[in-house]
Structure 1
């Protein structure tokens, strides 16, 4: 079932979109202005994303497509009826400048350094024509799984089929103008040998970084010395050359008429160069969006060749794709860590936003990330149990299969079953895998000191006085009552409802450290309601008896 996305008149939806502060709408409004200035009778708006298949696709690659799709959908609301396309362009004719760290056999690839990626043998096995074809297939596999609407384009195909011939001839014709743009951005050494054309050696098949001896615009050829020193002349058309990466950006925009492309902050300093080359070749530069880069757990930029950070498949082992899309939506101009410990929060935030959506007005809906994640039609799902609580339940119960978790869930939320709540069942499986791989190895239980032991004993006694079916709020209040009576856990900067001191977070940190071997977690009252009062009291008994809580 989906939230009713049709409960607003198209004209009202358009007016709400025109003033929405969500970043996809802000970007889409720039494209609307661009299209209106062109004044075409039947415009087609081209969105593009670029991919360098020098390594396996990582989440940053996915994020670029997801974010571009969000802008595309926002544009379609602002200009209904205007046709749009999303082209995912792979620069797979690039030479392999270094061997990626994450290939099975580095020595196998050494003879193919500087060969176009689609001419390098595939080291991963399977029926793929080349390294580049394999990596392209990995990208398409995920984009298809997620349901993106896109067209895939290969630089090798475009160069070899002649689709870039016209623009390559124009580069030859305007060679001096392009060199005038490029040379000031280069150091003295590079400037002496630079050319926007990279010939593919007819003898070795490698991509050559060599100076041009002659550029003949009349017959669209270039002359250079091949690797063996022999002077060689080849046409710039038909896949005999490719362009250096900066001219390639501008030339591709001009050749294809790209209207929107986003890229990472590392491209930001070169954006003006791309634009000027596009203009020199007779094109109009697209609208840009520069996003911040993702970082690994050490704060270093993630890299396809290093294989650091998360892969697409790794995230999807532990969480639904929608949580990944949410992480891409949030704060795109802010550098963010992209590692396993960000997953649980992203999962719970996604479902919280999804639950809020039906209760929001349309202004709020258009600012809600789930509208953008689901292209304006998010499903109606409200989880009775959060992912964080599921993780704690796995921790306390030592569950190895979903059946154990469902025993607790069904008692806590009568009538909820795996059959009528498949989304929760899916999360239960994710929680078990995530706990086993990332939480369990880091758990460190500690013994309580005398004050803590007394506090836990008092807590157990208080829990024993409650109804077995007490809800999370009732249990949480009981926990607070216990803490307020212990001087160590009184926080005089806060006030209790009765006017006395509030409760220090140290009380709940102690509970998590002693009972669950963790530093923190969700509201402990909610956890007790799910896990059961008797089970929680048994956990406390075992901790006070000095038993090993890390074992079943």
Structure 2
């Protein structure tokens, strides 16, 4: 049910990008209406490589816009995840098994390429299944649609015939965008060769609009071959295919990566030639790997969805997709801890927010008005440092420290915190521990550390984190650190073996005063052994 005008105004005042996108859709409907009875959102997937995290990001972001639209309008919505699985198999991704076998199927529709993993009917079926299982795991409300089934089932036939009737107009749009050699062979129709089964990129010899057929010359036999453009006998060339899909399905909204900006413009022109209004949408920036390179399904660089979920919560992944979609961001393991802690911080704020502040909080776009009620007393970063200092190898050890710090906490009552404990153990073992580099304290630092022990021992065992933080500050100032950051960095390097670390007061409160004193004494005692 549509929200009140007051609530809609608050949502728009929030300036959250999903509401800005949803407003475009509302205005679109005011102009064009909808003869489908619903608003159609679409996301595209090319199953030429295994699904990657960018694919998930597009579905997650589109769902956020859909959620925002549903607050602002009572028109029903639908989301289609469309797989371009009739596309020709152009190259063998380097991260797949059975490379030699796959080479024999270059040019074949992806649904005709054998599954190199041996578990599904085809390579496309394997990848489509991987995509659906992951999206299902996140609880997305979507309908999966296969290009192969849409083409062969006749769903695209009417629009394909329109394309054939407007062939010259489409060619006039496309040819100026192509190189001289490509212009000689380009056609918006890619016939599926009746002899070889391959998707062909060949020039057309003739067209028969009334019969709905095209004629091309078989490059191997030299014979003229006539095929219908309907019924799965032809596939549309990429930009024409995108436009054809928008028109045939009646797509109202689809976002895409910045690298497809020019494709969106051309496909939009073709959609208008076919008598339709192109969908609303925007171009998001691309994700980069640890080296600043664009992540790619075929290269397998960057993070996979499964890898993120090994080290961080699903909600943290969704949040990372929400934040700054028009800004290029690194998508590698070291972004996970901050994403987890950002989620916890936004979740804590949400409970006290109203009006436009609530709608500006990413939590609304992830959970609506019903986010998890759990209060998490410990940050993920702090848990990582706790693992580092305690050398814990199991959840029970970490929970011992947590219970001393927050007696009311338990794995049963705090399932999110219990998950974070598990994530912290795995993340520390794989990414923090291998980079640890402890250094011995200098003579001056030894004096400061000894004074820190004295200051801590003046405080009760379960003092407030703020009191412990004050003690650390006091020692740093007493030892004439002009920049207290240097004092804290020294503590991180000496006690934790890393360049950066937690707020020391919070760490001491969680780890325990006596344990921290023991850690400092050990650093001093080990100085002579290093």
How would you bin the TM-score normalised by the shorter chain? over 0.9
Q: 1:354 aligns with which of 342, 347, 351?
A: 347
Counterpart in 1 of 2:242? 249
CA contact (8 A) 1:255 1:283 kept: no
Matched, 1:160 2:152: yes
CA drift of 1:549 comes to 12
Q: 1:460 aligns with which of 429, 448, 453?
A: 453
Matched positions, count: 529
CA drift of 1:171 comes to 0.9
Alignment partners' CA distance in 1, 2:317 and 2:176: 41
Matched, 1:205 2:197: yes
CA drift of 1:485 comes to 0.9
CA contact (8 A) 1:294 1:335 kept: yes
Alignment partners' CA distance in 2, 1:454 and 1:291: 53
Alignment partners' CA distance in 2, 1:367 and 1:317: 29
Identify which range, 375-384 or 253-262, moves more after superposition. 375-384
Matched, 1:175 2:196: no
Which digits, 9 at most, give the CA deviation of each residue in 1:189-208, with x for residues without a partner?
A: 10111001111111111111
Root mean square deviation of aligned Cα: 1.7
Counterpart in 2 of 1:66? 60
Alignment partners' CA distance in 1, 2:56 and 2:34: 32
Question: Any idea what SS the aligned residue of 1:359 has?
Answer: coil
Matched, 1:525 2:505: yes
> Where does structure 1 lack aligned partners over 5 or more consecutive residues?
1-5, 492-503
Matched, 1:474 2:467: yes
Question: Any idea what SS the aligned residue of 1:100 has?
Answer: coil
Counterpart in 1 of 2:487? 507
Question: Any idea what SS the aligned residue of 1:135 has?
Answer: helix
Question: Any idea what SS the aligned residue of 2:226 has?
Answer: strand
Alignment partners' CA distance in 1, 2:413 and 2:342: 22
Alignment partners' CA distance in 2, 1:32 and 1:43: 14
CA contact (8 A) 1:515 1:549 kept: no
Alignment partners' CA distance in 1, 2:518 and 2:529: 11
Counterpart in 1 of 2:180? 188
CA drift of 1:332 comes to 0.3
Counterpart in 2 of 1:148? 140
Question: Any idea what SS the aligned residue of 2:499 has?
Answer: coil
Q: 2:517 aligns with which of 524, 537, 544?
A: 537
CA drift of 1:42 comes to 7.6
CA drift of 1:548 comes to 11
Q: 1:413 aligns with which of 403, 406, 412?
A: 406
Alignment partners' CA distance in 2, 1:548 and 1:371: 54
CA drift of 1:456 comes to 1.4
Counterpart in 1 of 2:211? 219
CA contact (8 A) 2:441 2:527 kept: no
CA contact (8 A) 2:374 2:414 kept: no
Question: Any idea what SS the aligned residue of 1:222 has?
Answer: strand
CA contact (8 A) 1:445 1:549 kept: no
* Change over 3 Å in CA distance of 1:61–1:317 after alignment to 2: same
Matched, 1:57 2:51: yes
CA contact (8 A) 1:543 1:549 kept: no
* Change over 3 Å in CA distance of 1:549–1:512 after alignment to 2: farther
**Aligned ranges 1:117-516 → 2 under 5 Å:** 117-126=110-119, 128-228=120-220, 229-487=222-480, 489-491=481-483, 504-516=484-496
Alignment partners' CA distance in 1, 2:219 and 2:384: 59
Alignment partners' CA distance in 2, 1:523 and 1:344: 15
Alignment partners' CA distance in 2, 1:100 and 1:450: 56
CA drift of 1:11 comes to 4.4
Alignment partners' CA distance in 2, 1:162 and 1:41: 20
CA drift of 1:43 comes to 3.5
Alignment partners' CA distance in 1, 2:447 and 2:190: 75
CA drift of 1:177 comes to 0.6
CA contact (8 A) 1:355 1:380 kept: no
Q: 2:99 aligns with which of 106, 111, 117?
A: 106
CA drift of 1:381 comes to 2.5
* Change over 3 Å in CA distance of 1:329–1:115 after alignment to 2: same
CA contact (8 A) 1:542 1:549 kept: no
Alignment partners' CA distance in 2, 1:438 and 1:41: 53
CA contact (8 A) 2:403 2:410 kept: yes
CA contact (8 A) 1:48 1:88 kept: yes
TM-score when normalising by structure 2: 0.97
> Where does structure 2 lack aligned partners over 5 or more consecutive residues?
none
Alignment partners' CA distance in 2, 1:412 and 1:405: 11
Alignment partners' CA distance in 2, 1:150 and 1:529: 46
CA contact (8 A) 2:387 2:428 kept: yes
Matched, 1:25 2:19: yes
